[in-house]
Amino acid sequence: MLDFEDMKKVEWELEPALAEETPPELRRQPWLLKYENPLKTRFGAPFFLALPKTPGIYRMKDEHGNVIYVGKAKVLRERLNSYRHARPGEVSRKVIRMIHLIRTIEWEECDSEASALLLENRLLRELAPPFNTVNTRPHTYSFIGLRVIELDNRCVIRLRLTMNCKRQGDLLFGAFKGRSRALRGYSALLRLFWATQSTAERFEYPPPLTRRSPPSLYSVELPKVWISPLREFLKGRSEHLISQLSCSLLENETLPRFYSHYIQEDLEALQSFFNQGPKRNLELRKNHGLRNRLIAQDRIDDLLVLEWERLGRLDTRRASKE
């Protein structure tokens, strides 16, 4: 039998899916009993009217003084007032649960929206509040290690996916924000390399390459012509590797036609990883004067804020949060 915490976890995981399946006209059905937002009585209108109309961050605490949520606001008064007027059916159940736990609200003014985002990032890393899910675990951002062992006219390429920036006799690239995207891209790369070299009459991926969690260390023997495109791909300089993989796969007559859909999905996953991983990292390094090829895991989120500010696109920041 599930205990309360397990039930709560299941509810959190099902909530987005349920929300998508519920027709819009049913999401705002009137409640039989009038809902009273507890923040209205706990803090009162004068508290919210006294809030500054400036950028800043806010911390919400429970009855034990524990920080349960950290947020950033372009206008503190508007953002915090939105919690006072939140109602079931208009916000997620997670937000309603949080509102009922809040006993203290603290805020801190910042000079700009960008400085508020940077402070929010730091607090998220330090506190990892339970109701925050984004930017709280930069230590999960991935690196990819590459080691090449050259033979006569071929080579053995060893790829490694890791969250540890320590080298193990290989060349590291990263860190790459977005654990799930990195996993999909890395898995796709392993399968595509394997498929280009397959000559068996009955095509079938090795079981380790079809699992949800790919092997953290994998070696494949390839012609040497793959070395340079792979390095340039991981550096973010060129996506030629993807077109080279496509051509090689088209030339491999042993690949069954019904696998083409899965291969296309892997090519798209690899392209997505390149755009939001190596290519983006290269742009961040160039635009913000970083000499080191590696970007520290706890710096990526801050660099993205600085990049959005440089481009005047701070309002698009949520689209890049994972």
Domain boundaries, the chain: 36-127, 138-320
Among residues 41, 36, 76, which one has the least CA distance to residue 56? 76
Kindly report which listed range (111-125, 228-242, 303-317) carries the lowest average pLDDT score.
Answer: 303-317
Tracing tokens 């991983």 back to the chain, one arrives at: 277
Mean pLDDT of the chain: 89
In the predicted structure, residue 16 carries a pLDDT above the cut 70? no
What is the per-residue pLDDT for 316?
60
In terms of Cβ atoms closer than 10 Å to its own Cβ (0-12, 13-18, 19+), residue 66 is: middle
Confirm or reject CATH 3.40.50.300 for domain 36-127, answering yes or no: no
Q: List C-alpha distances in Å: 126 to 80, 122, 190, 221.
A: 22, 6, 35, 43
Kindly report which listed range (7-11, 20-24, 260-264, 289-293) carries the lowest average pLDDT score.
Answer: 7-11
Percent of the chain predicted with pLDDT > 90: 77
Tracing tokens 């710096």 back to the chain, one arrives at: 299
In the predicted structure, residue 136 carries a pLDDT above the cut 90? yes
Residue 164: partners with Cβ closer than 8 Å, 6 or more residues away: 143
Average pLDDT over residues 245-273: 93
Average pLDDT over residues 283-293: 95
Among residues 149, 162, 129, which one has the least CA distance to residue 58? 129
- Identify which has the larger pLDDT, 321 or 277: 277
Q: Is the dihedral of CA 95, 97, 99, 103 positive or negative?
A: negative
Q: What element of type H or E holds 161? A: strand 154-162
What is the per-residue pLDDT for 60?
98
Can you tell me the distance from the alpha carbon of 255 to that of 201, in angstroms, rounded to the nearest whole number?
Answer: 9
Give the tokens for residue 222.
């390839």
What is the per-residue pLDDT for 19?
46
Helix segments in the chain, DSSP class H? 4-21, 24-27, 38-49, 76-84, 93-101, 113-127, 179-197, 227-235, 240-251, 260-276, 278-287, 300-311
In the predicted structure, residue 317 carries a pLDDT above the cut 90? no
Can you tell me the distance from the alpha carbon of 131 to that of 248, in angstroms, rounded to the nearest whole number?
Answer: 47
pLDDT digits (tens, 9 = 90+) for 29-68: 555 567 899 999 999 999 999 999 999 999 999 999 999 9
- Identify which has the larger pLDDT, 200 or 174: 174
In the predicted structure, residue 121 carries a pLDDT above the cut 50? yes
Can you tell me the distance from the alpha carbon of 11 to that of 231, in angstroms, rounded to the nearest whole number?
Answer: 43
